C-alpha cells in the first residue's frame, strides 16, 4: 500500500515514557476519572488520558471495551457517573452534545446515522455551521440565506467529490450502500469544520480501494491542523496512519504509545486476544478472520466474546458479568 505508509509520523508527543495516562506536550483533550456504569457493570473507567493535538490518535481495544461509550461520554451523548474532561481549556462535563459539537469536537457514529430521507447533498449542507437560514425568522426570507447556501453547496460538492459521492449528490441517502453511508457521515462531520474529529470505526464496511484513499484523506486532515481521534479494529490502518495509539480494555486504558511499540507490546496483545499466543497485531485486519486461522481455543474465546457482546447490545436490562 503505497504513499500513505511513508507519511511522516509525529514524534515527541508525550512527556516521559509512554504509559497509560502519560502527559502530552500539547493535549487538546484531557479526561480525568471518567466512569460510566450500566447496572452493575462498569463500561468505562478512565483514570486519566490526554489526546495530543494536531495528530492522529487511534483508540483500540476488544469489542465491548467501552470505546463507543467513552466517545458518547466525551461528546455529551451520555452522562458519566463521575469525571470531567477538558477540551481546549474548557471543562465539558455536563455540556450538551450540540454545544460540544459547536466547540469543534465532532463525532461520527459506529452505527451510521446518514439521514436517509434527505438527499446526500442536503445531508452535507446540514453539517455546515452558523447558517443564517437556520434561524426561524431569517429562514422566512430567502434573500438572507441564499448566498450562504450557495457557498455551502460548493463546499459540500468539493467534499463529496473527495469522498467519491458527488455523483450521488441528488439521491436520497437511503439509496447509498452501507460503506457509502459511512463516507457520507464522515464528510458531513467535516462540513462542520471541526478541530477535533472523532470517528467511530470509520472504515468498517468500506471497500479496500476506497480505504486507501480515505487514509490519505485522514492524513490530509492532519496536515490542515485538525486533530483526529478514531476507533478502529483494522490494525493495518492503525499502524499506517496513527501517530499515537491508546488501548482500552474492560473500560480502562491499558496501554498507550507509538503504534509500532504498542502493537508489539505483549500486554496489549493479551488484552486483545487473551493470553498465550504470539500473533502480531499488525496483521489483524478483521475481528474474525485472524482468529479463524489461529488455534481452536482462541477461536472459541473470541466467538464467545462476540456472542456475549451481541447478547448485550440492544438489551435494556441490567447487565452483569459481561466480557
| Binding-site ranges for ligand ATP (CB under 6 A) | 38, 43, 61, 63-69, 110, 309, 312-313, 319, 322
Could you give the CA distance from residue 287 to residue 270 in angstroms, rounded to a whole number? 15
For Mg ion, the closer CB: 70 or 163: 70
| Span near Mg ion by CB under 5 A; candidates 105-113, 156-164, 184-192, 289-297 | 105-113
User: Residue 110 CB, nearest distance to Mg ion (Å)?
Assistant: 5
Contacting residue, 8, 140, 143, 209, with other proteins by CB under 8 A: 140
| Span near other proteins by CB under 8 A; candidates 50-58, 184-192, 204-212, 226-234 | 184-192
Residue 66 buriedness (CB in 10 A; 0-12 / 13-18 / 19+)? buried
Contacting residue, 1, 19, 139, 275, with other proteins by CB under 8 A: 139
For Mg ion, the closer CB: 266 or 286: 286
User: Residue 198 CB, nearest distance to other proteins (Å)?
Assistant: 10
Q: Does 24 bind other proteins (CB under 8 A)?
A: no
Instruction: Name which of other proteins, Mg ion, ligand ATP, none residue 8 binds, using a CB cut-off of 5 to 8 Å depending on partner kind.
Output: none
E strand or H helix at 91: strand 90-91
Q: Does 110 bind Mg ion (CB under 5 A)?
A: yes
Cβ-contact 36, 69 below 8 angstroms: yes
Positions 44 through 73 that interact with other proteins (CB under 8 A):
68, 72
For ligand ATP, the closer CB: 73 or 228: 73
Contacting residue, 86, 118, 221, 308, with other proteins by CB under 8 A: 118
Could you give the CA distance from residue 7 to residue 249 in angstroms, rounded to a whole number? 29
Could you give the CA distance from residue 99 to residue 109 in angstroms, rounded to a whole number? 17
Could you give the CA distance from residue 284 to residue 119 in angstroms, rounded to a whole number? 36
Q: What is the dihedral of CA 284, 285, 288, 290, to 10 degrees?
A: -40
Positions 236 through 265 that interact with other proteins (CB under 8 A):
none
Q: Does 170 bind other proteins (CB under 8 A)?
A: no
Tell me the site size for other proteins, rule CB under 8 A: 50
Contacts of 103 (CB under 8 A, 6+ apart): 87, 88, 90, 92, 95
Residue 312: closest CA among 38, 35, 111, 36: 38
Residue 191: closest CA among 119, 123, 116: 123
Q: What share of the chain is helix, strand, coil (3-state, %, to 5)?
A: 40, 20, 40
Positions 61 through 90 that interact with Mg ion (CB under 5 A):
67-68
Q: What is the DSSP string of 201-221?
A: STTTT--HHHHHHHHHHHHHH
**Residue in the block written with cell 452535507:** 124
Q: Does 78 bind other proteins (CB under 8 A)?
A: yes
Q: Does 114 bind other proteins (CB under 8 A)?
A: yes
For other proteins, the closer CB: 112 or 240: 112
Mapping DSSP onto H, E and C, the string for 271-295 reads: HHHCCCCCCCHHHCCCCCHHHHCCC
For ligand ATP, the closer CB: 54 or 64: 64
Residue 36: closest CA among 277, 252, 260: 252
User: Residue 25 CB, nearest distance to ligand ATP (Å)?
Assistant: 27
User: Residue 120 CB, nearest distance to ligand ATP (Å)?
Assistant: 26
| Binding positions for other proteins, rule: CB under 8 A | 68, 72, 75, 77-78, 97-99, 101-102, 106-109, 113-118, 122, 125-127, 129, 131-136, 139-140, 142, 145, 149, 172, 174, 185, 188-189, 191-192, 311, 314-318, 320
Amino acid at each position: 500500500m503505497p504513499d500513505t505508509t511513508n507519511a511522516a509520523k509525529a514524534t515527541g508527543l508525550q512527556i516521559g515514557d509512554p504509559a497509560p495516562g502519560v502527559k502530552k506536550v500539547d493535549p487538546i483533550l484531557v479526561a480525568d476519572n471518567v466512569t460510566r456504569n450500566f447496572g452493575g457493570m462498569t463500561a468505562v473507567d478512565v483514570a486519566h488520558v490526554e489526546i495530543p493535538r494536531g495528530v492522529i490518535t487511534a483508540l483500540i481495544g476488544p469489542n465491548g471495551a467501552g470505546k463507543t461509550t467513552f466517545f458518547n461520554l466525551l461528546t455529551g451523548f451520555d452522562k458519566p457517573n463521575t469525571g470531567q474532561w477538558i477540551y481546549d481549556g474548557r471543562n465539558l462535563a455536563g455540556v450538551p452534545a450540540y454545544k460540544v459539537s459547536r466547540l469543534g469536537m465532532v463525532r461520527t457514529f459506529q452505527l451510521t446515522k446518514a439521514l436517509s430521507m434527505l438527499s446526500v447533498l442536503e445531508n452535507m449542507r446540514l453539517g455546515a455551521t452558523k447558517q443564517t437560514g437556520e434561524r426561524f425568522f431569517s429562514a422566512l426570507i430567502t434573500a438572507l440565506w441564499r448566498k450562504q447556501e450557495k457557498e455551502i453547496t460548493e463546499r459540500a460538492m468539493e467534499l463529496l467529490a473527495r469522498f467519491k459521492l458527488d455523483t450521488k449528490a441528488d439521491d436520497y441517502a437511503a439509496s447509498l450502500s452501507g460503506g457509502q453511508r459511512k463516507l457520507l457521515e464522515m464528510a458531513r462531520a467535516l462540513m462542520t469544520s471541526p478541530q477535533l474529529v472523532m470517528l467511530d470505526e470509520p472504515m468498517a464496511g468500506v471497500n479496500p480501494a476506497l480505504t486507501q484513499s480515505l487514509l490519505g484523506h485522514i492524513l490530509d486532515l492532519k496536515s490542515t491542523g485538525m486533530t483526529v481521534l478514531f476507533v478502529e479494529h483494522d490494525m493495518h490502518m492503525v499502524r499506517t496512519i496513527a501517530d499515537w495509539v491508546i488501548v482500552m480494555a474492560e473500560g480502562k486504558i491499558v496501554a498507550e504509545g507509538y503504534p509500532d511499540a504498542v502493537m508489539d507490546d505483549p500486554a496489549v496483545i493479551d488484552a486483545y486476544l487473551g493470553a498465550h499466543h504470539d500473533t502480531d497485531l499488525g496483521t489483524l485486519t478483521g475481528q474474525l478472520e485472524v482468529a479463524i486461522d489461529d488455534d481452536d481455543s482462541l477461536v472459541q474465546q473470541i466467538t464467545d466474546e462476540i456472542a456475549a457482546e451481541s447478547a448485550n447490545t440492544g438489551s435494556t436490562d441490567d447487565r452483569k458479568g459481561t466480557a
